Copies of this chain bind each other. A is one copy, B any other.
Amino acid sequence: MYHHIKKMMYTVNVGTPDVRFGNMLLEQFGGANGELAAAMQYTIQGWNCVDDLARRDLLLDIGTEELSHLEVVGALIRMHLKPMKENREAAEADPLICIAGGGGVDLRNSMGNAWTADYLKITGELDVDLRSNIAAEARAKIVYERLINYTDDPGSIDTLQFLMTREITHMKAFSAALESLEKSPFSIGRLAVTPGIGSEYFNASTGDGNEGETDMHGPWQSSFGLHPVESEMNGGPGLSIGDIKGIAGPEGRGKQDSGVKAATATDVLTVDPKPVPQTDAAQTGKQAFLRETPTK
């Protein structure tokens, strides 16, 4: 249940309204990385997260705060858009907002696109959702930074600095929640990947380019057990695709609170008496009863 307190989370002051800056700010109201997107992503993840009540609380704490941010950035935009009601040239900065919306804020981005739930990343797999949230906070931070760089108005800078700061706070909280699951870093879901081919970095872009680029090397080809493999198209052996023989086995699950585990579509399939073919030596010896015949 929600309650609204009329006092905003941050008091917005604008010196000289700047209509085109107000239009830019719409990115954080109705844009892909804006406050409604954040509020909805975390809140809905939280509502779906019924198996880990502690992290559900986290998701709703931050989801709710983002609604308060939506109100703050909306007030900032509204103040910047004010001249639009009186001035034809100002109206040209965003005719949709002005002519259809009367010059108020609306759930659209700086190019007038309506907000869409296609912006959201919600999988119902807790550790995956936390990774999506960490990335989302990083994106929101850089967008606020760019907005700060395009205004001189001190009140606007203060408001944006407040909102930008909170994104990093949330990024820290989501990172802590992910780490506290104590799951191994590249273990996602319950099915193990195929070991051999999983370690091959495939070199699919080669040659020398028009802007000085060439076929370079970096730790991404040799970290975490990876090694580079040349494409057949570049004279190499290609991926060892002959290795794939169905399901490789189960992954370990992370530690969760209250003894409950994260929701995943695979949970119900773990009591299958049919052994899963194992190709990974590391998995041999383990009994793998992973899949049952899906109910049809």
> Given the complex, which residues of B lie within 8 Å of A294, measured CB to CB?
87-88, 149-152
Q: Could you mark each residue 282-296 of chain A with 1 if its beta carbon is under 8 Å from any beta carbon of chain B, else 0?
A: 000000000101111
Residue A169 is within 8 A (CB to CB) of chain B in the complex: yes
* Residues 23-76 of A contacting B (Cβ, < 8 Å): 23-24, 27, 30-33, 36, 40, 44, 47-48, 50, 53-58, 60-65, 67-68, 71, 74-75
How far, in whole Å, are A179 and B185 apart by their CA atoms in the complex? Answer: 13
How far, in whole Å, are A89 and B211 apart by their CA atoms in the complex? Answer: 27
* Residues 107-151 of A contacting B (Cβ, < 8 Å): 107-125, 127-128, 131-132, 134-135, 138-139, 141-143, 145-151
Complex A-B, nearest 10 residue pairs according to Cβ-Cβ distance, in ascending order: A102-B124, A111-B112, A48-B104, A6-B209, A86-B268, A176-B223, A107-B117, A88-B294, A60-B205, A64-B204
**30 A-B pairs (CB sep. < 8 Å):** A1-B8, A2-B3, A4-B61, A6-B206, A6-B214, A47-B71, A47-B74, A48-B104, A53-B214, A54-B218, A63-B205, A68-B204, A85-B265, A96-B113, A101-B122, A102-B264, A138-B188, A145-B189, A149-B265, A157-B247, A158-B244, A158-B245, A162-B244, A165-B244, A168-B188, A169-B200, A171-B186, A172-B186, A176-B226, A233-B233
- Judging by beta carbons under 8 Å apart, are B217 and A54 in contact? yes
Residue A253 is within 8 A (CB to CB) of chain B in the complex: no
> Given the complex, which residues of B lie within 8 Å of A213, measured CB to CB?
6, 53, 56-57
Q: How many copies does the complex hold?
A: 6
How far, in whole Å, are A185 and B138 apart by their CA atoms in the complex? Answer: 11
| A197 nearest CB across to chain B (Å) | 6
Return the chain B residue nearest A59 by Cβ. B205
How far, in whole Å, are A189 and B146 apart by their CA atoms in the complex? Answer: 9
Q: Could you mark each residue 224-235 of chain A with 1 if its beta carbon is under 8 Å from any beta carbon of chain B, else 0?
A: 111000011110
Residue A20 is within 8 A (CB to CB) of chain B in the complex: yes
> Given the complex, which residues of B lie within 8 Å of A199, measured CB to CB?
169
How far, in whole Å, are A91 and B27 apart by their CA atoms in the complex? Answer: 13
Residue A78 is within 8 A (CB to CB) of chain B in the complex: yes
Residue A281 is within 8 A (CB to CB) of chain B in the complex: no
Return the chain B residue nearest A114 by Cβ. B117
- Judging by beta carbons under 8 Å apart, are B96 and A162 in contact? no
> Given the complex, which residues of B lie within 8 Å of A246, measured CB to CB?
154, 157-158, 161
